[in-house]
Structure 1
Amino acid sequence: MSDDKPAGRVTINAAFLQEIKADHQQLKELLERLRAWSAQPQAMPNHNREFTETLGALRDQLAFHFSLEEAYGYFEDAIESSPRLDNQAHALRAQHAELFVLARDLADSANQRDLEQLTQCEALAAQFQVFDKALKAHESAELNLILVALEEDLGVGD
């Protein structure tokens, strides 16, 4: 049986790139708003409804973001070009569920807290910052995995 795809090549789907670009932009905008509010929790009581709604939107956008990554299988192409990256890719994929649970818990926590009280705002801001740090580390590791796979595919250093 003939395989038209050259062995060890990463392919890029243009429709996926457009969709993931729009998704990343929406995710970035939500995170920027939440980062600004969490950096100044004393202002959160004035924006508690917006903050709560934005956390809900983040939860939903993150679910979409992870489903896009998994449905379009960009990891599979990276793994095909470099099977030694398989364990790292599986670990990163497993983090999607963990990060989604954190985002869901943040949104639920915001709905249950009295965000008129500064102490509640500070606690929620700290909870968001822990989540944000974990998400940044995850996204950085995903990018690194893709770059390593591309380097190996393109033969950098040959």
Structure 2
Amino acid sequence: MSPEKSTPKFTLNAAFFQEIKDDHQQLQCVLSRLRELEFNRAAIANHAKEFVELLAGLLDQLAFHFTLEEAYGYFEDALENAPRFHEQAGSLRGQHSTLFVMCQELVDAANACIAHRDRDLTPVLDRFKAFDRSFKAHESAELNLIMEAMTQDVGVGD
């Protein structure tokens, strides 16, 4: 009798998955509205307060989003059987603080504009656009890493 080969397993807690899903939807909702405002720059002066409030909300949502990713360790679950991806995962985790600081600086700059009654938010809009590109690239890289780890090292069920 030959010993049974153990198959790597990936488990996902349903409650955690729901929390991640809810967080993702809330984050996308805030980002979607910010993108609309950034795209319609001609009307931003009429929506400056909303834009600043949304940026502050984005900062809070990012804090929660990154905390979920780091505290629940879904990276670790996906990478448990794929140790060759640990360095890349660490690099992506390290981007969380950079992205958070970028967003904090956006909030500060937007608040300064409002405090000085400066309705020209063009520099803040430009910085938001750069942040948004960086955040999209980060989220895409995280997803790609997890999918690659799951499909290459854990395998897909055929």
Determine if the TM-score, normalized by the shorter chain, exceeds 0.5: yes
Structure 2: state its 5+ residue gaps.
Answer: 1-5
Maintained 8 Å contact 1:42/1:121: no
- Give the whole-Å Cα distance in 2 for the aligned partners of 1:33 and 1:39: 10
Q: Give the structure 2 partner of residue 19 of structure 1.
A: 19
Deviation per CA, 1:63-85: give whole Å up to 9, x if none. 00000011110010122110000
* Preserved CA contact (<8 Å) 2:79 2:146: no
CA contact (8 A) 2:85 2:145 kept: yes
How many corresponding residue pairs?
152
Report the alpha carbon displacement of residue 12 of structure 1 after superposing the two structures with TM: 0.8
Cα offset for 1:8? 3.2
Q: Do 1:55 and 1:106's aligned partners in 2 also have CA atoms closer than 8 Å?
A: yes
Partner of 2:128: 128
Alignment-mate amino acid for residue 148 of structure 2: V
The Cα RMSD (Å) is: 1.9
Seq. identity, %? 53
Matched AA of 1:101: V
- The two structures have a TM-score, normalised by structure 2, of 0.89
Runs of 5+ consecutive residues of structure 1 not aligned to the other structure? 1-5
What CA distance in whole angstroms lies between the structure 2 residues aligned with 1:157 and 1:123? 49
- Is the Cα contact below 8 Å between 2:79 and 2:86 reproduced in 1? yes
How much has 1:36 moved relative to structure 2? 0.6
Q: Which residue of 1 aligns with 2:53?
A: 53
Q: CA–CA distance in 2 between the matches of 1:87 and 1:153?
A: 16
TM-score normalised by the chain length of structure 1? 0.89
Shift of residue 116, structure 1, vs aligned partner: 5.8
Task: Give the drift of 1:122.
Answer: 1.3
